[in-house]
Structure 1
Amino acid sequence: MSHTFDADVVAAVLRHMNGDHADDNLLIARAFAAASGSPIVDSVMTGFDGGAGTWRLTHADATAEELRVPWPGGAISERAAVRREIVALYDAACARLGVAPRPHA
């Protein structure tokens, strides 16, 4: 069973990702979602646990789906590891899509 983070930690990460990194959410979705006929036009991070992050995707044809992407470094249980793994997903998404990643602070 994957580690479950405290609700306040989850809420803070989701607020940050959906408020400050909406473009990153979309990039991750486009890189890791199964190919379909309708392009992904929106992606919102809806949760995460020790095993993966979860996003709600919306396609151009108005269909929606859930995407669960395992953390690249494996299972996590510490708050600080969440940022590290999301950054790793972003970098992997850039590599898959041939996009130059921006520098990380």
Structure 2
Amino acid sequence: MPHTFDDAALAGVLGHMNDDHAADNVLIARAFGPADTTDATMTGFDGDGGDWIAVRADGSSAPVRVGWPGGPITERRDVRREIVALYDAACAVLGIEPRPHD
């Protein structure tokens, strides 16, 4: 059974991703879900991976579940590392140069 993060961790990460990294959500959903994704929202995560809802070009939506590249995690601080790794992997899949990370 995957690690479950507390409500504060979920709210913090989801708020940050959906408010500050909306374009990254789209890249991740497009790379690992429907190729015609035009919008995406991160809806959750656990120790095994992250969840997004992808909005397709025709307006329909599809769930996208992506496992963490580094394997299962149990610490909130590891979520950022894994999302950054997903972003980099999504850029590689889509042939996009990733931006530098701080």
TM-score tier after normalising by the smaller chain length: over 0.9
In the TM superposition, what are the counterparts of 1:1-105 in structure 2 within 5 Å? 1-35=1-35, 39-105=36-102
| 8 A Cα contact 2:34 2:56, kept in partner | no
* Long gaps (5+) in structure 2: none
Q: Deviations over 1:47-69 (max 9, x none)?
A: 00000100011111111111000
Residue identity in the other structure for 2:8 = D
Q: Which amino acid aligns with 2:52?
A: W
Deviates more, 1:48-57 or 1:25-34: 25-34
Query: Aligned partners of 1:27 and 1:55: how far apart in 2?
Result: 11
Separation in structure 2 between the aligned mates of residue 2 and residue 98 of structure 1, nearest angstrom: 31
Structure 2 length normalisation: TM-score? 0.97
Amino acid at match of 2:6: D
CA deviation after TM superposition for structure 1 residue 34, in Å: 4.6
Where in structure 1 are there 5+ consecutive unaligned residues?
none
Q: TM-score, normalised by structure 1?
A: 0.94
Aligned equivalents of 1:33 and 1:76: distance in 2?
Answer: 22
SS at match of 2:64: strand
Q: In the TM superposition, what is the alpha-carbon distance from 1:42 to its structure 2 partner?
A: 0.7
Deviations 1:52-102 (A, max 9, x none): 100011111111111000000000000110000000000000111110000
> Aligned-residue CA RMSD in angstroms?
0.8
Aligned partners of 1:66, 1:59: CA distance in 2, in Å?
Answer: 11
